[in-house]
């Protein structure tokens, strides 16, 4: 994208003519932005993003080392880099100490010291990324790092829903988090039942407007019985992720 200067300039003019504005003097609610606080927030967000960048880089080296049997000493590598001509950051000393504390560290972010700093800085980090998104300012490094952090720290991911989608359109079944086995739900049938029930509810209340469709996710959220036969999906349970190969 950085190489598409001419295209971006043309696009900028086109969107300006259509009413696109970039103004950061106020937030999305119209409140004035505290510039002093914003500067400090950006500093903290940058530091947290940097931890994520190093964590991902170290994990790439760790994965390749395991694959090739190199037995790389990541802490020693951080020390060596400090003597180079590009990075040479004091931050590398902290990375070295983290791997000295735990040579088998799964991810730099879960080192106690780094984990503490990530938690302390996440509020500022989210404010910066949130303001950038609200104002249409591109911050790919910070936003991608925040997504990496949020994805890594979650025991369950929205990707679980992929199983439900595949079961809906292809009856591929899904797993549950509360018991083993493969399950199938007749989603369309329950959607129809929910639509009829909701329509009746609206009519009973004297409403003349009747909704046409109830989303599948709303059916689950409402806690309806969603299984078929003896394999019934109970409210509050959802799927584990499955490696589909």
Q: For the chain, give every domain's residue range.
A: 34-152, 157-245
Please give the backbone phi and psi of residue 149, each rounded to the nearest 5 degrees, phi first: -60, -50
Look up the pTM and report it. 0.72
pLDDT of residue 131: 92
Domain 34-152, what fold? Answer: 1.10.1040
Averaged pLDDT, groups of 10, the chain, 245 residues long: 94 91 63 90 98 97 96 95 86 96 96 98 97 91 97 90 90 90 90 80 62 41 39 43 41
DSSP helix/strand/coil, 87: coil
Q: What is the pLDDT of residue 206?
A: 67
CATH number of 157-245: 1.20.5.320
Output the pLDDT for position 218. 40
């Amino acid at each position: 994208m950085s190489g598409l200067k001419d295209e971006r300039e043309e696009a900028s003019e086109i969107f300006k003519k259509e009413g696109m504005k970039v103004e950061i003097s106020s937030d999305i609610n119209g409140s004035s932005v505290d510039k002093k606080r914003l500067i400090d927030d950006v500093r903290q967000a940058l530091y947290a993003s940097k931890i994520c960048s190093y964590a991902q880089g170290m994990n790439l080296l760790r994965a390749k080392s395991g694959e090739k049997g190199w037995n790389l000493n990541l802490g020693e590598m951080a020390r060596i880099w400090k003597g180079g001509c590009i990075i040479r950051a004091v931050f590398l000393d902290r990375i070295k100490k983290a791997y000295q504390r735990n040579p088998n560290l799964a991810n730099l972010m879960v080192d106690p010291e780094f984990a503490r700093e990530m938690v302390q800085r996440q509020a500022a980090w989210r404010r910066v990324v949130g303001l950038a998104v609200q104002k249409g300012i591109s911050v790919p490094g910070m936003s991608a790092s925040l997504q990496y952090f949020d994805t890594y720290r979650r025991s369950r991911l929205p990707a679980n829903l992929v199983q439900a989608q595949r079961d809906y359109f292809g009856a591929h079944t899904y797993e549950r988090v509360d018991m083993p086995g493969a399950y199938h739900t007749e989603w369309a049938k329950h959607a129809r039942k929910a639509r009829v029930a909701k329509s009746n509810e609206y009519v009973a209340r004297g409403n003349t407007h009747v909704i046409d469709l109830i989303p599948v996710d709303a059916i689950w959220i409402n806690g309806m019985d969603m299984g078929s036969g003896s394999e019934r999906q109970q409210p509050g349970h959802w799927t584990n992720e499955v490696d589909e190969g």
